[in-house]
């Protein structure tokens, strides 16, 4: 069966819906998109759909910035103010980072391990076609969510008391979670809870930590689109996916925050287990009948 070469509005909306939901809920957007790609023989990220890839990433970026616009503004403002005071040789008192500035610093630190993941980008890309691995990774995601929710008590760390070690460890987990089927938000939130972060701050830091990764992925996608040539003839179709991804992503973020506040964050584990098990069974059947 040949790959789908033209994208319909319905498919763009559907993929935008999946991206918006799965990017922020701890169910692995990369895993779900890879499963759909293999199940329906769709490849929206090939050369003919590079522009759609760009717009999907921009949609999720818009969602995060819309929800955390106040926090982002405070982090940037405090970061600039700290650098300004630090460079002032006439300052009489030592300059101390305020909590928003500390959060910005920790986001930068937590992003650094992603550069290690770039070294293995070729091997990681091949796993997107291995649905057996993706199903297993989804089951592992469910286990991580269940354990962190049921057996780890929330701590009291926020941007005021979080440490550099916390940020680095969460960043390392984010780098590992580039594997399809492992949820980036699920892994980083779970490790944040294990490190003693409050539930609300674990969610906020996890989602803000995704901004550099999403920006980086968008830049790479734009570069590929310019290099290989983007198909602008389907721009109206792609924009439908962008709008859906941004809109649904906004509500998905609100939903995960509500789950954490209600203590039901770990219930998503059952969904991951179900999808993971079905995916593995489907993969084994395909292998047996190939």
Angle value at C-alpha 261, between 255 and 266, nearest 5 degrees:
75
**pLDDT given for residue 234 in this prediction:** 80
- In angstroms, the CA 157 to CA 166 distance is 10
Residue of 141, 137, 122 whose CA lies nearest to 191: 141
- 56 Cβ partners below 8 Å, 6+ apart? 15, 16, 19, 241, 242, 245
Please state, as a whole number, how many other Cβ atoms lie within 10 Å of the Cβ of residue 49. Answer: 28
- C-alpha to C-alpha distances, 55 to 181, 217, 241, nearest whole angstrom: 22, 11, 8
**pLDDT given for residue 200 in this prediction:** 94
DSSP for 127-182, please give it: HTT-HHHHHHHHHHHHHHHHHHHHT-----B-TTT--HHHHHHHHHHHHHTTSTTS
Query: What six digits make up the tokens of 285?
Result: 């059947």
Query: What six digits make up the tokens of 216?
Result: 């980086």
Cα-based torsion angle of the residue sequence 62, 118, 26, 22 in order, rounded to the nearest 10 degrees: 50
Scanning the structure block, which residue is given the tokens 């040539």?
229
- Residues 185, 206 contacting (CB under 8 angstroms): yes
Query: What six digits make up the tokens of 250?
Result: 């906004």
Scanning the structure block, which residue is given the tokens 């439908």?
240
Predicted confidence (pLDDT) per residue in 159-210, tens digit? 999 999 999 999 999 999 999 999 999 999 999 999 999 999 999 999 999 9
DSSP conformation class of 23: T
Residue of 250, 219, 44 whose CA lies nearest to 114: 219
Q: Which regions of the chain are under pLDDT 50?
A: 1-4
198 φψ region: left (φ > 0), alpha (ψ -120 to 50), beta (else): beta
**pLDDT given for residue 48 in this prediction:** 54
- Residues 21, 183 contacting (CB under 8 angstroms): no
- In angstroms, the CA 100 to CA 107 distance is 11
**pLDDT given for residue 4 in this prediction:** 45
């Amino acid at each position: 069966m040949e790959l789908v070469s033209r994208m319909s509005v319905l498919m763009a909306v559907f993929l935008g819906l999946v991206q918006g939901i799965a990017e922020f809920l701890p169910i692995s957007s990369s895993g779900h998109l890879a499963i759909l790609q293999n199940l329906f023989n769709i490849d929206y990220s090939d050369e003919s759909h590079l522009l759609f890839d760009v717009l999907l990433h921009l949609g999720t970026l818009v969602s995060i910035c819309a929800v955390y616009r106040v926090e982002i503004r405070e982090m940037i403002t405090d970061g600039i103010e700290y650098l300004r005071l630090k460079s002032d040789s006439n300052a009489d008192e030592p300059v101390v980072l305020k909590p928003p500035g500390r959060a910005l610093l920790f986001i930068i630190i937590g992003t650094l391990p992603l550069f290690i993941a770039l070294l293995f980008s070729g091997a990681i890309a091949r796993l997107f076609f291995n649905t057996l691995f993706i199903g297993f990774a989804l089951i592992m995601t469910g286990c991580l969510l269940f354990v962190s929710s049921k057996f780890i008590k929330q701590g009291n760390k926020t941007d005021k008391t979080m440490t550099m070690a916390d940020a680095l460890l969460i960043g390392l987990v984010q780098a590992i979670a580039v594997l399809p089927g492992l949820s980036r938000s699920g892994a980083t939130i779970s490790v944040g809870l294990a490190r003693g972060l409050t539930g609300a701050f674990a969610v906020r830091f996890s989602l803000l930590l995704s901004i550099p990764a999403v920006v980086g992925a968008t830049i790479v996608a734009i570069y590929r689109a310019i290099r290989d040539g983007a198909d602008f003839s389907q721009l109206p179709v792609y924009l439908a996916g962008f709008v859906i991804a941004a809109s649904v992503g906004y509500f998905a973020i609100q939903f995960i925050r509500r789950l954490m506040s209600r203590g039901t964050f770990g219930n998503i584990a059952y969904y991951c287990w179900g999808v993971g098990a079905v995916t593995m069974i489907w993969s084994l059947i395909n292998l047996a009948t190939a």
